[in-house]
Amino acid sequence: MIGTPRVHHRVTDSTNERAKELADAGAPHGTLVTADEQHAGRGRQGRTWTAPPGSAVLMSLILRDLDERHALLPLAAAVAVCEACEEVGPRVKWPNDVWIDGRKVAGILIEGRPQEGWAVLGIGVNVTTEAFPPELAEIATSLRLAGQNTTAATVLADLLAGLGRWIDAPPDAVLEAWRSRDALKGERVRWADGEGIADGIDDSGALRVQTDDGPVTLDAGEVHLLI
Ligand code: BTN
């Protein structure tokens, strides 16, 4: 069952690190690691993830028996996050940042050992954060700042229920739900080697972009958008 057993840390370095250790030691599918505070929270592309103590959902879920049917897991996880904060109009910035009014409220980092059949799905959601450090002030938000008065415990419960629905959902359903929340469609995007207008995702989850030289598709594992 998703979320059971659960290991909660008052403080840890990174719930993804703790979950990877547990997965390596044989912890079952659905094992959940949570924390009130992380001092070395990890983000995508080597970035860090910070949140004031007690203000965020900080969770990592061990998933086993993943196969090609789960190729859209990063997108499915973003849809589950959106459903936990639907009342404040979440959108997904490809591939799986969740934005409210153009500011990031949640991030997803999937790590693992596919060859050993497991992955760790790490999710951070800013819930009651009232203020961000200067470098994040213009680009981050929280559910409270966006007008959703809730608690981290409630968001975690809703998120786990959503993940239970979406992790094994058919790809067509994941794509449809993701596309209905696409934050970038029609927007100008830039990456290291080019720029253009985002034109949705193809059925593999790659971002389609119309450039001056014609259409291109960007793979989330290889390309980092500079926005
Ligand atoms: C990103 O947007 O760059 C991904 C951020 C993922 C942050 C979460 S917080 C819980 C889990 N533990 C980590 O160290 N990272 C993820």
From the CA of 58, give the closest atom in ligand 1.
10
pLDDT band at 166 (very low <50, low <70, confident <90, very high): very high
Sequence-distant (6+) residues with CB within 8 A of 211 are: 194, 195, 196
The predicted model gives 3-18 an average pLDDT of: 98
**6, β-bridge pairs:** 32
Write down the pTM of the prediction.
0.96
Whose CA is closest to atom 3 on ligand 1?
A: 43
- Name the residue with the closest Cα to ligand 1, atom 15: 42
What value does the mean pLDDT take over residues 10-19?
98
Q: How confident is the model at residue 222 (pLDDT cuts 50, 70, 90)?
A: confident
Q: Using pLDDT thresholds of 50, 70 and 90, give the confidence band for residue 207.
A: very high
For residue 46, count other CB atoms closer than 10 A to its CB: 6
Q: Give 168's Cβ-side CA count (13 Å radius).
A: 11
Give every CB contact of residue 6 below 8 A, 6+ residues apart in sequence.
Answer: 31, 32, 33, 34
Q: Whose CA is nearest to atom 16 of ligand 1?
A: 122
Which positions ≥6 away from 3 have C-beta within 8 Å? 30, 32, 61, 160
Rounded to the nearest whole angstrom, what is the distance from the C-alpha of residue 214 to the centroid of ligand 1? 34
Q: What's residue 117's pLDDT?
A: 82
Residue 221 predicted with pLDDT over 80: no
- Average predicted confidence (pLDDT) for the chain: 95
